[in-house]
Copies of this chain bind each other. A is one copy, B any other.
Amino acid sequence: MLLPEILSCSEVLKPGSHLFRPGDPADVQYHVRSGALKTYALNAQGDERVTGFYLPGEVLSNSQIEGRRREGAIALETATVCRLRLQDVGRLQDVAALPMLMTKLSQRETLLTEHQLNLAGTASLPRFVGFCLQYSARLAKLGRCSQHLPLPMSRTDIASYLGMTLESLSRVCAKLSKGGLLLAQPKEMQLLDRPALEALAVPGTY
Q: Whole-angstrom distance between the alpha carbons of A41 and B163 in the complex?
A: 21
- B113/A163 in contact, CB under 8 A: no
A120 to chain B: which residues have CB within 8 Å?
A: 49, 119, 160-163
A115 to chain B: which residues have CB within 8 Å?
A: 116
- B51/A106 in contact, CB under 8 A: no
Contacts A44-B204, A90-B95 known; A116 to B113 CB distance under 8 Å?
no
| A196 to B: closest C-beta gap in Å | 14
**Interface window among A1-9, A60-68, A142-150, A187-195:** A60-68
Q: Does A99 contact B (CB under 8 A)?
A: yes
Say how many copies of this protein the assembly contains: 2
Q: Would you give the 0/1 interface string for A87-113, flagging 1 where the beta carbon is closer than 8 Å to chain B?
A: 101100001001100100110111011
Q: Whole-angstrom distance between the alpha carbons of A133 and B43 in the complex?
A: 15
A64 to chain B: which residues have CB within 8 Å?
A: 106, 110
Q: Does A117 contact B (CB under 8 A)?
A: yes
A109 to chain B: which residues have CB within 8 Å?
A: 61-63, 108-109, 112
Q: Whole-angstrom distance between the alpha carbons of A87 and B103 in the complex?
A: 11
| A125 to B: closest C-beta gap in Å | 15
Q: Whole-angstrom distance between the alpha carbons of A121 and B86 in the complex?
A: 32
- A87/B110 in contact, CB under 8 A: no
Query: In the complex, what residue of chain B is closest to A162 when comparing beta carbons?
Result: B120
- B117/A65 in contact, CB under 8 A: no
- A110/B70 in contact, CB under 8 A: yes
- B95/A202 in contact, CB under 8 A: no
Q: Would you give the 0/1 interface string for A45-62, flagging 1 where the beta carbon is closer than 8 Å to chain B?
A: 000010100000000011
A87 to chain B: which residues have CB within 8 Å?
A: 99
Q: Whole-angstrom distance between the alpha carbons of A160 and B70 in the complex?
A: 26
| A44 to B: closest C-beta gap in Å | 5
- A62/B106 in contact, CB under 8 A: yes
Q: Does A152 contact B (CB under 8 A)?
A: no
Contact of A42 among B90, B105, B204 (CB under 8 A): B204
Q: Does A164 contact B (CB under 8 A)?
A: yes
